[in-house]
Amino acid sequence: MNASARTAEQIRELTDDTYKYGFVTDIESETAPKGLNEDIIRFISAKKSEPEWLLEWR
């Protein structure tokens, strides 16, 4: 096994292990579908509370 494969295997072993310390951070997030169209632009603009003139400019 070469060094690259060995490193990849070590990383996989470390990241596949369950987290044993119990610390979690709940982060509120919004997701949008892939792509960019008018609906996505409006969604992002609304989340940022942008003024209407800026939305129309985009």
Of 25, 32, 33, 26, the residue nearest 47 (C-alpha): 32
Q: pLDDT-derived band of residue 51, with 50, 70 and 90 as boundaries?
A: very high
Mean pLDDT of the 33-45 span: 92
The pLDDT value given to residue 19: 74
Tell me if the pTM is above 0.75: no
What tens digit of pLDDT does each residue of 3-36 get? Answer: 888 899 988 888 887 777 888 888 888 888 889 9
Domain ranges of the chain: 34-58
What pLDDT is stored for residue 29 in this prediction?
A: 87
Q: Largest Cα–Cα distance in the chain?
A: 59
